[in-house]
Structures are given as structure tokens and as C-alpha cells.
Amino acid sequence: MHDFENVLKRSGAIVPFKAERISNAIYRAAVAVGGRDKELAESLTEKVIEYLHKNEKVTSTPDIEQVQDAIEKVLIENGHAKVSKAFILYREERNKKRQTEVQHSSRSSASIPWRKIWHGLDWAVKYNLNTYSSMNRRIQEGEFPIIVHESEKAYENDLETVSEEIISKANELKVVLVSGPSASGKTTTTLKLEQKLKAKGYKFKALEVDHYFFDLELHPKDEFGDYDFETPQALDLDLINDHLDKLCKGQEVKIPYYDFKNGKRHLNRTPIQLEENEILLIDSLHGLFPKFSEGISVDHKFRIYIEPLIQMKGPDDEYVQWTDIRLMRRMLRDAVHRAYNPKQTLEHWHYVRSSELRNIMPYIGNADYIVSSAMPYELALYGPKLQSHFAEWAKEYKNDPLREDAYMRANRINELLSAIVGITDESSVPKDSVLREFIGGSIYTG
């Protein structure tokens, strides 16, 4: 047993010292290089704590850098160089992210789809939807249904273009991957795309990759002890690749079944085989992640990335953040379909976002086409549903050092929603809209 009661964060805040956070960090690094031994992670944690006790420079309240230095040293000294490297890389990524936030860097990034963004901004300016105030004026003039129509048409045009792209390569295609971060609209986009292509004579078969999750007890946890379903390492990537390879060769495979109630996977359950001229259709967070389909030739797959790439300035004169749009979408979807408390969604968003920045965003450049699911009018719908909650959370988390991320997001979104004219009448939103995936009433999800 350790006798450290607290740890000093970089911000200067003092928070409780919890050994499980160290073991979770070690286990996450191990999972990144293929290891899944939780008992070993726990025994290494004891060595880390022992090292901290022996280090004369460490006081009764160690700082976070000292703890991380100790983790690196213990991993290396105990023969876990690969795990140590993964931990170091993760640590460096977090440091770079913090530095970027402090410096407000404006440098170009290869992970940002600039061409698509400029197209979206041009569209927003054309329809007078590039600022919250301009949209407010249109809503106040009774144009909300018109804004809905304009937004939905832009999205449908995107889908029509990508379907034409797929058709142009259909003779060689074996797999179409629809990828994107959480609550980007993958499910509806995949179904609508399938409808469009089937109407033109093409055949598809869906593969549900959620059945390839490892057993829950083997999942890595985040710094708060929550199981991390957002990382690609939560999926059996080796088995996915093996099955994709066999399916593309026309062979039959038996996909597993994952029981989400007890967190157990059962192998070799459902047979699946591609018929002649049939294409495999996959909706996954990690469709662009290189190891997800590394065995499939680039010529045999078409990769789509989807994100709500909204181009609108908020009351702070900054562009509305896409991650904030998705956070609100996920809150509403989880509440409608999973009876999940929106507050929990906010508290868990830190690891959702962290995994996206590591495992999704760096690979946007691998996409063959980018679809924007942004609907400017959705902000007007979210205000009446969520604004009061965000106001409450901003107050609750203001002085909580363990919820700095939740406070920052809650405060920012509260200010945004407070400034936008709210709409409670959803009758003008089409039943097949991508937004229905989140607000309910979709013809696809019920």
C-alpha cells in the first residue's frame, strides 16, 4: 500500500493520488503494442510507487511529471521497452496538444480538410449562415424551414457526389468504409448511401464491426477508470483483417457475436460471404486507421470520412467547434436511445476526444471522399434541449480540478447556445435527416 495522498497537476491543482491511474496508463500503452496483461500492469504500478518512495527528489505530494518519469524508468528497467515507447509517444502527444492550446497556434495541419472547409465556408456565406447572428436574423424572419431545406440539400448533394465516385470504381471495389468520429452521422450516411447505390443496381452486404470488440475485461481504461471503447485497440484488428481478406477473396467467414450486456465475445457465430459483384459495406469509427484494413489493396477499397464541418462564427467571434456539435449530438442520442445521462456523456468526452486526436484525425488524408454532415440549423434545435444543462454544468465544474475539460466545454457551449434563437418545432426536419439519428424520429433508427 502507498501512502501518497495527493499528486500535483501541471496546472498547480492538487488532486487525489490513485494507483489505478498509473496501472491504467501502463495498460493502455501495453494495449497499443499488442499486450493485454492487467495483472502485470498492476505489479509494475507497485514498482512505480516503490521507486517514487525511494526517490529523494519526490516529496509527499509528487508532481505529475515525476510520476510519468517513474513509469518510463520502471518499464524500461523491467524489459518493457516497446510499452515504454508507446507511453512516451502518448506523453509527447499530450504535451504537444497542451503547447498548441497555450500558443493558439495557427499553423496549417495536414489532418484538416482545407479544401472541404473552404467549400463549406463559401456555401455558408452564400446562404447567410456563416455567423450565429446572420442565422438568428433569418430565423426571426420566419425562414427556419428554408434553412432546413438548404442544409439538407447540401448534404444530399454530397452523398450524390460520393455515390458517383464509388460507381466509377465499382468494377475493382470490394469494400466501402464509412468512417468518422463519434456522432458524426455515420449510421444514417451509410444507410442513405446504400439506398442510393442499390437504386442504381449495385449490391452491398454490411459488416458490423462492433462484434469484433475484445471482452470487456481486456479493454484499456482511461485516466478516470472508464472503459475506453473509443480506441481502435478495443477491436480485434487481426481478426478483422483476416476476415476482410477472406471475404474479398470470395470465401465464407463466421463473424463473432458480442454480447454487450455481459461484455463477452463469442467467436464463429454468423456466416457471411460476398456474392458475385457484391461489395462489403462497413460503418466504423476507425475505418481510416491503417491497421484496420492493412491487408486490403487500396484499389479494392473506397474510404469515406464524415464530420459535421460547420463553418459558422459564434458569439466569441471564433468558429463553432465541430467537436462541440458532436458532443451535443451524442448527448441527445444517448438520452433517446440508451437512457444515458447527458452529464455522463460530458464527463466521458475527454477520452472520446483524446482517442480521436490519436487514432482518427491523423488519417483524414487517407479518405477518398469527405462528407460534411453539418446542419447549421441544428444549433437552434439544441438550445431549448440542452442550454440550461450546460449552464448548470459550467457552474458545477468551475472549480473542480478533476473536471477541467468538462468545465471548458460546458462554458463554451453554454455561451454559444445562449446566443442562438431556439426552435422547438421540429416538424420541418425530414424523417430521413441525419439529425434524426440524434434527436429521434428517424425512419432508419426509430
144-177 pLDDT, tens digit per residue, is: 999 999 999 999 999 999 999 999 998 899 999 9
Query: Cβ neighbours of residue 196 under 8 Å, at least 6 residues apart?
Result: 159, 160, 163
**Chosen domain end from 79, 103, 127:** 103
pLDDT tens, 258-304? 998 888 999 999 999 998 889 999 999 999 999 999 989 988 999 99
Residue 176 forms beta bridges with which residues? 281, 302
Residues 296 and 397 in one domain: yes
Answer yes or no: is 146 within a domain.
yes
pLDDT tens, 89-148? 766 766 665 554 434 433 445 568 888 999 999 999 999 999 999 999 999 999 999 999
Answer yes or no: is 444 within a domain.
no
Residues 246 and 125 in one domain: yes
Residues 60 and 121 in one domain: no
Residues 134 and 237 in one domain: yes
Residues 125 and 221 in one domain: yes
- Side chain identity at residue 335, one-letter code: A
332/328 Cα distance (integer angstroms): 6
Q: Is the dihedral of CA 166, 184, 129, 445 positive or negative?
A: positive
Residue 422 is placed in which grid cell? Answer: 431556439
Residue 62 is placed in which grid cell? Answer: 509528487
- Exposure string of 117-151, with b = 16+ CB inside 10 Å and e = fewer, is bebbbebbeebebbbbebbeebbeeebbeebbebb
Residues 356 and 220 in one domain: yes
**360 membership: H or E segment, kind and range:** none
Residues 391 and 302 in one domain: yes
Cα diameter, the chain: 72
The whole model's pTM is what?
0.79
CA gyration radius for the chain? Answer: 23
Q: Helices (DSSP H) in 275-377: which residue ranges?
A: 322-338, 342-359
**106 membership: H or E segment, kind and range:** none
Answer yes or no: is 445 within a domain.
no
**Chosen domain end from 103, 129, 147:** 103
Domain hosting 297: range is 114-439
- Exposure string of 291-310, with b = 16+ CB inside 10 Å and e = fewer, is ebbeebeeebbbbbbbbbbb
9/401 Cα distance (integer angstroms): 9
Residue 279 is placed in which grid cell? Answer: 461489395
**Chosen domain end from 103, 126, 153:** 103
